[in-house]
Structure 1
Amino acid sequence: MTAIPPSAKAPGDVVLDFAQVCAGYGETPVLAGIDLAVRRGQVVTLLGGSGSGKTTLLRTATGQLRPLAGTARVFGQDLATASQTQLTAVRQRMGVLFQQGALFTDLDVFENVAFPLREHTRMGEAEIRETVLDKLHAVGLRGAAALRTSEISGGMARRVALARAVALNPELVLYDEPFAGLDPISMGVTAQLIRHLADHLGCASLLITHDVRESFAITDYAYLVGQGELKAQGTPAELEASADPYVHQFLHGEPDGPVAFHYPETPAFEAWLARETRRAPARKEGR
């Protein structure tokens, strides 16, 4: 599979575009200076460690968080100035696969996938049935339509959630840690489904993950965030070949490097240690 760099397609193909975005909560930034673009038909991966701000960027992309600075556009709509009506219109063109699947436990597999169709369309029952079975077939679970969510495995639940996420044929699909908690077979199946759906639907796909191996197998272009900024970007091959110490440490899972194994000993720690050292004899005498 040939990777697709950001410049390989016409600007009109851009679905999600971040330009020098600063994202965070309240007035506190988590990430700053983020440039990111996702185009139709692309699978783009946003990599980063736990707490690096990946999910913060996802919430910014869906309009849950307004950018603190910079410009975040989805389908050409500036999210910083969008009204609630405009945000709703943007979100209806998106599909989101949440980290834990977020299936409705009181609905069976069929009704979970049918839910967005019933909520956002005027389809008749025959058309809903045909659409839901088609989406379940795409993820290999047509025969599981009548099962309760308690009767399916974690990997199957993630695939049902994926079928629901694409039920409305979205133009942009956001995946929040889609491989978390899955066994190796389910991870491989999920990865190939993400690639297949991007190719089949022609949708833009943004994959939020810290899983390098599975994501790189299906990714066209990747971004790596850490320490509050964008650390690197490029095709999987370009990132693998990077000599940057941070990139190398993250991709190869090395315990020490720019992200130190030992938490730094700050002046506050030194002051605490001095106090504890002075208190130790008194504690001993009091026993």
Structure 2
Amino acid sequence: MTTATADEFETHRPRLFGLAYRMLGSAQEAEDAVQDAYLRFSAADRTEIARPSAWLAKVVTNLCLSRLTSARARREEYVGEWLPEPVLTSDGALGPLESAEQRDSVSLAMLVLLERLTPTERAVFVLREAFAYGHREIAEALELTEANCRQLYRRAVRRVGEPESRFEAEPKRREELVESFISAAREGDVVALEKLLAADVTWTGDGGGKVSAARRPIEGRDHVFRFLVGSRRTFLAGVEFSAVEVNGAMGMAAWLDSTLISVVAFETRDGVITHARAVVNPEKLGFVSRQLARA
């Protein structure tokens, strides 16, 4: 591949990564898919590629469709709750997230919902919702009819549910809430910690059988509060916390002896935390660790 062609591919890489990540829910697998697309691009006859952006999107989409089948099989054997691999988004890693709808499209909550879809439904939904593809463009990318794509899209929307913002309107308030949570956790202020939790709060942890984590979601303020207090006494001595933007929302990173041990994404409503998704599986923290190292 010539330098010019390699440079051209790099202009498409961020968008392709965003597409692959939304399809797969894994930053590592998304990077692999994009790299495979790079190799195909380098070997292709450029005279046959009229629109590189469309050609590459089609290649990445189909690479992801192939990966999703094996990924589903692995997730059926996953130990405990499965959560997507988190990505820090303050550096634009997943594209512009300027609206609540855009942030919601990359949230861990939405990516979990996308697991309900078949691989093809997911491809249609992602291309339509996240990248504003028309049904004709989607049909060309997936080699389906427009009518079929429309049907798949309607089915995907029904399975995912009606879109709704999972974020409070004011970003500053969300940031203050997370900072308050971190301060309470750092100082062991259990009274302040409990006040930050909604009555119906849920805590979901993903340890993948690699580290200790609740095997099922913990529901209700009392149960989540007791879990957090117990965790702090047992595991969190010497842990450092910092606020981060994870998958479009304010979240928290936890460190122990310079090793990232957890990334937590929060959903909030009316000034309290309604859902926390904590990724503690070390195999899912490599991408965020590299992002933080580059910061």
TM over 0.5: no
TM-score by length of 2: 0.24
More strand by share: 1
TM-score by length of 1: 0.25
Structure with the larger RCO, 1 or 2 (CA within 8 Å, 6+ apart): 1
Greater Cα radius of gyration, structure 1 or 2: 1
